[in-house]
Amino acid sequence: MVDKSEWQGNSGETWAAEWRRTDRSFTLLTERLLERTRKFRFRNVLDVGCGAGELSLAMARGRPDITVTGVDISPQLIATAQERSCHLGNVDFVLSDAAEWSAEAGIQPDLVISRHGVMFFDDPVTAFANLAHQAKEGAPLMFSCFRDIALNPFFTEVIRLLPRVPPAMDPTAPGPFAFADCDRVRSILEEGGWADVAFEEFDYPMIAGTGENAVDDAFGYFCRIGPAARASAELDDAAKGRFHARLRELCQRSCHAGIVALPAAAWIVTAKKGS
């Protein structure tokens, strides 16, 4: 489980330091989300769990006529996003919990978006209810989240290399696969005040390494922020050495044309604020 305290501590620090790698890993998903935003009419965007700001920044750069607000609970990630946005006047990043965030007077969001930032809510119904309360009437909601872990070799292929596979997580606990179940997500959103919930499957290669030293790059990614990074760091030297050897082999097998990538499977979820 990755809870609020983790994002405000070690996880936030690591992801802030590695924002270039995390943004790169989601490249095709980000492009798909940006493409989907063209179906909506909006002026004020709220990016929930914005992380280091990639989606917010891309929208602000491409649409100078809109305003974008990114919110996240990690002070390290918000600081990184603010640094990256210093040249843009139409984007702002705020340290806030989505369950508590309030829109400025007269500037309600008419689009709420998130790239994999909503699966970590401690109380998802409360968070989505607050977002609905803050949004304009009829405002669309769109976010991405992982589908079932079994459909995500980016995770399973790395995790299985560990000496012992970690026990299965509670599927309702905050974490990367907390929103894999469509029925659960639909129930959460409808209870939180959102209607017309729909799901689109989106499969994409999740990039771990690129360039002349793509295998080394990917190996560093998986050791630093990949799905088994924390578990592997706790291994003794001998077990860690065996894991690293297997991990490097996986990176080599997964390297094609200077890119190391493994398949990932996401939902793109849409809804609108109910009446």
Three-class HEC string of 62-129: HCCCCEEEEEECCHHHHHHHHHHCCCCCCEEEEECCCCCCCCCCCCCCCEEEEECCCCCCCCHHHHHH
In the prediction, which pLDDT does 107 show?
83
In the prediction, which pLDDT does 1 show?
46
CB 274 within 8 A of CB 195: yes
In the prediction, which pLDDT does 4 show?
57
At 185, list the tokens: 């997500």
Fold of the domain built from segment(s) 4-148+170-207+264-273: Rossmann fold (3.40.50)
> Among candidates 226, 228, 184, 225, which has minimal Cα distance to 15?
225
93/101 Cα distance (integer angstroms): 12
248/49 Cα distance (integer angstroms): 31
CB 136 within 8 A of CB 193: no
At 93, list the tokens: 């990043």
69/58 Cα distance (integer angstroms): 12
CB count in 10 Å sphere of residue 116: 21
pLDDT tens-place values along the chain, 275 residues long: 455 555 555 666 888 999 999 999 999 999 999 999 999 999 999 999 999 999 999 999 999 999 999 999 999 999 999 999 999 999 999 999 999 999 987 789 999 999 999 999 999 999 999 999 999 999 999 999 999 999 999 999 999 999 987 777 788 889 999 999 999 999 999 999 999 999 999 999 999 999 999 999 999 999 999 889 988 999 999 999 999 999 999 999 999 999 999 999 999 999 999 87
pTM over 0.85: yes
